[in-house]
Amino acid sequence: MLLIKNLETSRLTLRSWRKSDKDFTLSLWGDRENGKYMSDPVRENMDEAYLKCVDEMEDNPEGYYLLAERKADAMPVGTCCIFPENGNYDIGYCVAKEYWREGLGTEMVDAILRWVKAKGGKSVTGEVADGNLPSIALLRKFGFTEDRKTRYKKWGEETYFDAHYYKLNLDGLPISL
């Protein structure tokens, strides 16, 4: 799905992902450190089936794939996704390691939460590996709590992650969060 209007923060524009963003995305997700806790494969394990999936992200009928760019210079700094289903919106996010600890993940998640709330979403979930402490802290900052235990596998590898879904109920929360 494509956004009708970009999501904006003080420093970022979150816009619909385009095929022209593929090189940045693959370098981000395929980096061993940056993509450590992602289900996406490291660069050398990106097979044709995986690359076909990436090619189909531009107008995926099941969800929104977004690119986060700095407003100042349109430099891509991360990606995120939003998958709506029955009033719940499952999210994912990734900030390029060169920009870690600058608050960009907080801005991305805040923009997503405001957008979901404005669309009438009832809850937001995010699956996070138990070892990904910065991501867990980010979701907890917004009031997410552990919802259920899960486990996922990295594409093309025998690497598994024990994880949890974290959930935030939006009912009663102000739209400004």
pTM of the model: 0.94
What pLDDT is recorded for position 171?
84
Per-residue model confidence (pLDDT) at position 153:
96
pLDDT for position 54 = 97
The pLDDT profile of the chain, 177 residues, written as one tens digit per residue, is 999 999 999 999 999 999 999 999 999 999 999 999 999 999 999 999 999 999 999 989 999 999 999 999 999 999 999 999 999 999 999 999 999 999 999 999 999 999 999 999 999 999 999 999 999 999 999 999 999 999 999 998 999 999 999 999 998 766 655
Domain boundaries, the chain: 7-169
DSSP string of the chain?
---SS-EE-SSEEEEE--GGGHHHHHHHHTSTTTTTTSSSPPGGG--HHHHHHHHTTTT-TT-EEEEEEETTT--EEEEEEEEEETTEEEEEEEE-GGGTTSSHHHHHHHHHHHHHHHTT--EEEEEEETT-HHHHHHHHHTT-EEEEEEEEE-TTSS-EEEEEEEEEE-TT--TT-
The CATH class, in words, for 7-169 is alpha beta
